[in-house]
Amino acid sequence: MSDHNQVKITTMDYSKDRPAAENPVKIQDLTLRDGHQSLFATRGRTEDMIPVAEKMDEVGFWAVETWGGATFDTMHRFLNEDPWERLRTLKRYMTKTPFSMLLRAQNLVGYRNYADDVARAFVERTCENGMDIFRTFDALNDYRNFETVVRVIKECGKHFQGCICYSMTEPRLGGEVYDIDYYVNKAKDLETMGADSICLKDMAGLIAPYDAYEIIKALKAAVKPPIHLHSHFTSGMSPMSHLKAIEAGVDIIDTCMSPYAYRTSHAAVEPLVMTLLGTNRDTGLDIKQLAEINEILEKKVMPKYKHLLDDSKVSVIDISVLLHQTPGGMLSNLVNQLKEMDALHKIDEVYKELPRVRKELGQIPLVTPTSQIVGIQTVNNVLFDDEKERYKMITGQVKDLCFGLYGKTAIPIDPEVQKKALDGYERGEEPITCRPAEILEPELEPAQKDTEGLAQDLDDVILYALFPVTGKRFLKWKYGKEDPPPEVRARTLEQIKEEEDLVKLAKLGRLVKKVEKKGPPKTDALRTFNVFVDDEYFEVGVEEPGGSPMISYVQQMPAGVPVSAPAPVSPAAAPAPAPSKLAAPAAPAPAPSKPAAPAAPAPAPPKPAAPSAPAPADVEGTPLKAPMPGMIVKYSKQVGDAVSKGDTVVILEAMKMENALQAPADGTVKAINFSSGDSVAKDDVLCVIG
Ligand code: CO
């Protein structure tokens, strides 16, 4: 078959000869966004991107993805970093390579459709702060949700990349909804909208190599804009799919630098560079230059994040994706959610319920946020439904979806499910058919009012408009009105080293840590004691500067390890150990060794961990308990309010889905035990109705 796109191999001396390829495959690097989002929960910090930024700018990537997706949320929520600042900072180090971001269309970088005024302001400010390419997708592939943002992207003269979310209902291409015509028609829609390029976005690594070939071939024949393939490695197929897509004429491929590659991330760039070397589709990238960047990432950056990598499995691929045609990230969320609720044994029921719920909710693609919407509802059904009644606890997001707030589903939603979801729904019981944002009231001005005296500029206001609870908390940290908690601080390489050393010692059964406080100089009064801990021997020096003896060096053992301690020492006189830098998981602050001497007074009981509000014992009534762990979004009722059974009392966010919790009885709200933004555990008493 003679074919313009066919990959041609030439014979040459590669050490001397590397002519520019006729039609090079362009590479977009995802390390600084999707790479760390996939492998370590988007926890990558700006300070760890700077060491490679200038070198990556020299490589010759078509673009580098640096922003969007979950970065905006994670940065202000967990890293105490201003997302806007990252964009400006990286832009100072990377001046040549275009920046790309993942934009969730009208969902922007959040999990619901925002009003048009917020969407417009967000895209304008993003352009202003340095973004060049807007990879835009809608979870339902409903391009009416593109209208507002695309207009602004075009007005600002930036690159609009339109995405088609890859989805399937059968193990291979074809079956209900997602056949080749579906993708071709979507691409034509995007071309009509003015797409500068079109991306087939396979967020779960579902696309099989020969299906990739068929689709890319069909897209290349049907539309003019360059075609870009985004396929996660998760299932193990993506390097093969890349190659078949290249044979079919794909223009741009997404990869990661190798330390950030594979598992749920993307195939690495280096093998692809070598695969295409010398062909008419040679990337032209220099593998030695890539190796230098890898070295920095491997040695200076990755050690800080190793603890976040999922090392629970040896296998780097997840065949459950092949078995269930479901995004791996979604599956691991489901597993985590079931674990938190002590219901992991119900996982098979969840797998069975999932396709049913998806079909009932309109056979929608599974991508953020629809994967969570379908996933959490499935878990709720498995946990709370019984034979008599399905959809007993419907999340707020499923109600929104049934109302049409996310857009048009691929097939109509099951009418019975829709009716139940919209029963008493605050926006109305009749679903809408218009572009969702048309019914949303402007949100920017209210956000401006809410943040008066706190927000300093429009970027701050937008941050708050997108994430009211965590956004406000971040702005308080940013402007010094509240101290950020220690867990949002960065870890240093020194800390990592110290922890690794401790782990090594612990593995050898010799976890011994000295107090980091400088003791007074030793005097003649120093007396030496021999201390035996099981078979181990320690020498302990003790001296009496004033009245009571004082330990000049002590050992700390991990909590729970019974040790015989140096005697005779009064614990009251022992110097308090410096707070350990070791974040011992689950263990309380390391306590000094418990004295074995019966005469010694018992150490003060440890303080209770989190000051979680306990249920006041003296309030009588029916408690409303948290059915799952989560964060309080808001209480809809106040103390003293009369409620009827079934009224919404509190909105609880769990796994990013909002759950309206209802009054378990008629009565009056007697006590409210938490407030907006508080984290709660399963079965915490949220309020009492009496
Ligand atoms: Co992705």
Using the Cα atoms of residue 116, residue 119, residue 124 and residue 125 in order, give the sign of their dihedral: positive
For 284, 340, 474, 484, the CA distances from 345, given in Å and listed in that order, are 51, 12, 38, 38
What does the block give as tokens for 362? 């309109």
Residue 603 has pLDDT above 50, yes or no: no
pLDDT score, position 191: 98
Distance separating alpha carbons of residues 202 and 242, to the nearest angstrom: 11
Distance separating alpha carbons of residues 379 and 485, to the nearest angstrom: 32
Using pLDDT thresholds of 50, 70 and 90, give the confidence band for residue 270. Answer: very high
11 CA distance to ligand 1 middle (Å): 36
Its pTM stands at 0.76
290 CA distance to ligand 1 middle (Å): 21
Distance separating alpha carbons of residues 231 and 266, to the nearest angstrom: 7
What letter would DSSP give residue 487? Answer: G
195 CA distance to ligand 1 middle (Å): 19
Question: What's the fold here for domain 18-307?
Answer: TIM Barrel (3.20.20)
Element (H, E) at 265: none
350 CA distance to ligand 1 middle (Å): 24
Using pLDDT thresholds of 50, 70 and 90, give the confidence band for residue 545. Answer: low
Residue 10 has pLDDT above 80, yes or no: no
Average pLDDT over residues 37-66: 95
553 CA distance to ligand 1 middle (Å): 52
Cβ neighbours around 649 below 10 Å, total:
21
φ, ψ of residue 625 in degrees (nearest 5): -100, 150
Distance separating alpha carbons of residues 507 and 509, to the nearest angstrom: 5
Residue 30 has pLDDT above 60, yes or no: yes
Name the E strands within 459-513. Answer: none
Q: Between the CA atoms of 411, 414, 415 and 420, what dihedral angle is there, to the nearest 10 degrees?
A: -130
φ, ψ of residue 252 in degrees (nearest 5): -135, 140
pLDDT in tens, 183-235: 999 999 999 999 999 999 999 899 999 999 999 999 999 999 999 999 999 99
646 CA distance to ligand 1 middle (Å): 40
Residue 281 identity? R
667 CA distance to ligand 1 middle (Å): 48
- Helix 370-384 and helix 347-360, axial crossing angle in degrees, nearest 10: 120
Residue with tokens 């990598």: 309
What does the block give as tokens for 504? 């090594």
46 CA distance to ligand 1 middle (Å): 20
User: Cβ distance 32 to 49 under 8 Å?
Assistant: yes
345 CA distance to ligand 1 middle (Å): 30
Residues of the chain with CATH 1.10.472: 326-439
226 CA distance to ligand 1 middle (Å): 19
Q: How much is the mean pLDDT over the chain?
A: 85
pLDDT score, position 586: 36
232 CA distance to ligand 1 middle (Å): 6
204 CA distance to ligand 1 middle (Å): 8
Cβ neighbours around 312 below 10 Å, total:
6
Question: Smallest Cα–Cα separation from 109: which of 467, 498, 570?
Answer: 467
Residues of the chain with CATH 2.40.50.100: 622-689
74 CA distance to ligand 1 middle (Å): 16
238 CA distance to ligand 1 middle (Å): 12
Lowest-confidence range among 381-385, 440-444, 509-513? 509-513
400 CA distance to ligand 1 middle (Å): 25
163 CA distance to ligand 1 middle (Å): 11
24 CA distance to ligand 1 middle (Å): 23
104 CA distance to ligand 1 middle (Å): 12
Number of H helices, E strands in the chain: 21, 19
Using pLDDT thresholds of 50, 70 and 90, give the confidence band for residue 15. Answer: low
90 CA distance to ligand 1 middle (Å): 20
185 CA distance to ligand 1 middle (Å): 22
What letter would DSSP give residue 68? Answer: E
DSSP 591-646: PPPPP--TTSPPPPPPPPSS-PPPPPTT--SEEEE-SS-EEEEEESS-TT-EE-TT
609 CA distance to ligand 1 middle (Å): 37
pLDDT score, position 617: 53
CATH number of 326-439: 1.10.472
336 CA distance to ligand 1 middle (Å): 21
The structural architecture, per CATH, of the domain 622-689 is Beta Barrel (2.40)
Name the E strands within 426-535. Answer: 527-533
Residue 686 has pLDDT above 80, yes or no: yes
298 CA distance to ligand 1 middle (Å): 22
263 CA distance to ligand 1 middle (Å): 12
